[in-house]
Amino acid sequence: MNIIQHRLTEVTQRTTPNFDERPDPEDISLLVIHCISLPPGEFENDYIDQLFNNQLKTDTHPYFKDIFQLTVSTHLLIKRNGLCVQYVPFDKRAWHAGKSSHEGRERCNDFSIGIELEGTELLEYTEQQYEQLAKVVSALLKTYPKLSTQRITGHSDIAPGRKTDPGASFDWQRLLERLK
């Protein structure tokens, strides 16, 4: 897997209007792991894509009435079957972290790459997701010199008290062992 013009090769490319320019496109120095499922606990549908494209319909599921107005995105989504979708080029700012802080730096969206795993905080992630995530992270580490295995964190770590993902079900050691 390679990165050409800040896009991964060998993954599905989709667009989203929910991104903007980074203050410093050279300052890509943090990876943030998230999880998402829409509605919660349900998989293998198009609702995540609809959310990232501001097309979620409130009459589809009661849960959507509370979130349809969100303007959010991620750089990457890794589905349960390992399929990877890129929504935002890495040199652009995806809107994934919200109010956040890492090592005293606010606004993590400015300097981070967001990776969503289709899942929940309580359900084990799939082998296909760990395999794909390791390939993606390896490509990112090779391309962006400010990234390292020590600069991979969870959404819960940069937004404590507000976010809990990727949750206790994410096996950090399992990922790190694949990166050696």
Q: What percent of the chain has pLDDT over 90?
A: 99
pLDDT band at 180; cut points 50, 70, 90: confident
Q: 135-145 burial string, b = 16+ CB within 10 Å, else e?
A: bbbebbbeebe
Is 26 in the active site? no
Q: What's the pTM value of the predicted model, to 2 decimals? A: 0.97
Tokens 């009459």 — which residue?
59
Please state the domain extents for the chain: 3-178
Q: Which of 103, 116, 124, 127 is catalytic?
A: 116
Kindly state the tokens that stand for 48. 């995540």
- Residue pLDDT, tens place only, 71-108: 999 999 999 999 999 999 999 999 999 999 999 999 99
Contact of 76 with 87, CB cutoff 8 Å: yes
CATH superfamily to which 3-178 belongs = Peptidoglycan recognition protein-like (3.40.80.10)
Neighbours of 150 (CB within 10 A): 6
Contact of 72 with 91, CB cutoff 8 Å: no
- Residue pLDDT, tens place only, 132-174: 999 999 999 999 999 999 999 999 999 999 999 999 999 999 9
